[in-house]
Amino acid sequence: MGFVDKAKNAAEDIAGKAKEAVGNVTDDKDLETEGKTDQAKSSLKDAGENIKDAFGK
């Protein structure tokens, strides 16, 4: 996985954690859910990139 992809995924994960935390503090369930979704997307992208790396593509 390229450095840029790793950085983008890490940024998306951090943003998702921030959204989740703000949603939790403000009792905004939609924002909290959006944050969790962003984190899940980041994890899936990481997994996909790791699979690509394993097969050398």
Give the tens place of pLDDT for each residue, 1-56.
578 888 999 999 999 999 999 999 999 999 999 999 999 999 999 998 888 888 87
pLDDT of residue 31: 97
Separation CA 17–CA 14 (nearest Å):
5
pLDDT of residue 44: 94
Q: Residue for token digits 């980041």?
A: 42
Separation CA 18–CA 56 (nearest Å):
34
What does pTM read for this prediction?
Answer: 0.83
pLDDT of residue 55: 87
Amino acid symbol at 5: D
Q: Is the dihedral of CA 45, 41, 24, 7 positive or negative?
A: positive
pLDDT of residue 57: 58
pLDDT of residue 52: 84
